[in-house]
Amino acid sequence: MINNVVLVGRLTKDPDLRYTSSGSAVATFTLAVNRNFTNASGNHEADFINCVIWRKPAETLANYSRKGTLLGVVGRIQTRSYDNPQGQRVYVTEVVVENFQLLESRSQNEQRGAEGASRGFSQTQQQNTPESFQQAHGAQGTLPGTEVPEFAGNDTDSSDESDDLPF
C-alpha cells in the first residue's frame, strides 16, 4: 500500500512545540495550501492541513520557522481518535511529517512579512505573483536555474548523418 503525501504551503501560525512525558519533542502546525484552480470570483481557495512532526526535526522546525514560512513537507496521512472531556469520540486526520524543507531564506520571509505589514496585508493574504517575483529578482525574464543553452536559437543543422552510430 502507498501512503505518501507531499505538500507545499505556508504556516498559518508558529509551530507549537511540546514534549511528551518520555521527553520526545513533538510539534504541531497547520499548512495553508492553495488549490490549483480558482473559484467563481477568480480567487484561489486554500486547504488548511493539520500536520505533526516528531523528535529532532520537530525542534528544528520550531526553531527555524514561524507564521508565514513557505514550507515543503513529505509524510503520510494518519487517522486517530480519542474521547474528549464530554465523552464524545473525536476523529482526527493529520499528516505525519517525515521530512521538511524551508523553501525560502529567512531574509525573504522577513522581507515578505515587512512588505505585507506596510501594505496592510496579513501574511496569509499575500499571493506570489509574477509581478512580485520580478520585483524580488529583477526583470531579467527567466527563473533562476533556467538559463537558455548556448545552442538555443542556432540555425545550424543539428542532424548527424555520419555512419558511425552504434545502431
pLDDT of residue 90: 96
Question: SS3 letters for the chain?
Answer: CCCCEEEEEEECCCCEEEECCCCCEEEEEEEEEEEEEECCCCCEEEEEEEEEEEHHHHHHHHHHCCCCCEEEEEEEEEEEEEECCCCCEEEEEEEEEEEEEECCCHHHHHHHHHHHHHHCCCHHHCCCCHHHHHHHHCCCCCCCCCCCCCCCCCCCCCCCCCCCCCC
Higher-scoring residue by pLDDT: 128, 19 = 19
pLDDT of 135 above 70: no
pLDDT digits (tens, 9 = 90+) for 109-118: 666 665 554 4
pTM of this prediction exceeds 0.85:
no
Which domains does the chain carry? 5-103 (2.40.50.140), 105-141 (no CATH)
Confidence of residue 64 (pLDDT cuts 50, 70, 90): very high
